[in-house]
Amino acid sequence: MLELLLLAGVLLGGYVFLTHTLFKRSKCKGNLGMAGKTVIITGGNTGIGKATALHLARRGARVILACRNRAKAEAAMADIQQETGSADVGYMQLDLASLTSVRSFTETFLQTESRLDLLINNAGLVADGRTEDGFGIQFGVNHLGHFLLTCRLLERLKEAGGGRVITLSSMAYRWGHIDFQTLAETKHLGTGRYSWQFFSAYCSSKLCNVLFTRELAKRLEGTNVTCYSVHPGVVKTELSRNVSLWQKFFIEPIARLLFLDPVAGAQTTLHCALQEGIEPLSGRYFSCCAAQEVCGQARDDAVARKLWEVSEKFSGLS
């Protein structure tokens, strides 16, 4: 009996520790006005993106869901409109695995929408494979597609006055590494037969997100546009829908017990969208609704600059 009590105590203590550290919750307290403002959310039809869209639509923003799957996007639009009462929720087709699609999206947006106040680079995946343009799927979707999308929309963000770019990264950036020689030769951050190999590539893509935001902030100095990268927390979403069955079998029980729900996972994104006075923190990495210090590889300005230059070349901007 004593052994069982000790075991229960250890398990309970472990649970409390994890829910106050790795799985810690936070709450956005920002109150920036959104009425009359336009927001683009990539991957806004599900998970964190949908929770973010719901909140911003409820606050009066015009929300555009930039998604690959029309049926899922239209279903999400109907849900958001029903829950919020907002009729100002739209959908535009965007496949981040296709640079042609990114260009088409931005051309259509710039022709049909007069303003952009907030760009939320939310979409992401954990998977193996290649994009339409031959890039590793995680590098192509998680970083390169968003890079091109952001660059092509910057002028419209500047016109709005006080525009913001929020890019969802992950604490997984800590295990990332960018091998530029391999990237130049293979257009991939890493691949292989085993799931840990493409998880490593995922970590590297999340490092790209942090470095991209850091370099973007430098290039935006002197303008009215700011940018932030975000760790949303460990959230139960469709991010890992492409992992193997045995991994899902292992992850699912832990996810049900500890992972944050999408609403909780959206709080730091919403903080960076709605909190007044954070402009001096442009380029910083946020977690639990606060700016956090990052590891050395995410502070390397030379690597951030080189990643930008490589991304310009890959996306056809240079």
Strands of the sheet containing 89-93, edge to edge, are 89-93, 62-67, 38-42, 118-121, 164-168, 226-231, 285-287, 290-292
Contact 177, 207 (CB under 8 A): yes
Which DSSP string do the residues of 147-203 spell out, in sequence order? HHHHHHHHHHHHHHSS-EEEEE--GGGGG----HHHHHHHS-S---SSHHHHHHHHH
Tokens coding 121: 């680079």
Question: CA-based Rg of the chain, rounded to a whole angstrom?
Answer: 19
Q: How far apart are CA 92 and CA 209, in angstroms?
A: 23
Q: How remote is the C-alpha of 65 from its chain's centroid? A: 14
Cα dihedral 96, 281, 276, 79 in deg (nearest 10):
20
CA neighbours closer than 13 Å in the CB half-sphere of residue 160: 24
The DSSP annotation for 194-222 comes to: SHHHHHHHHHHHHHHHHHHHHHHHHHTTT
Residue the block writes with tokens 């840990």: 196
Distance between CA 86 and CA 225 in Å, rounded? 27
**Active site annotation includes 202:** yes
Q: What whole-number distance in Å separates Cα of residue 287 and Cα of residue 285?
A: 7
Structure tokens given for 209: 């997100």
User: How far apart are the C-alpha atoms of 318 and 163, rounded to whole Å?
Assistant: 25
DSSP 3-state assignment of 293? coil
Of residues 91, 173, 202, 285, which has the active-site annotation? 202
Q: Active-site residues: which are they?
A: 202
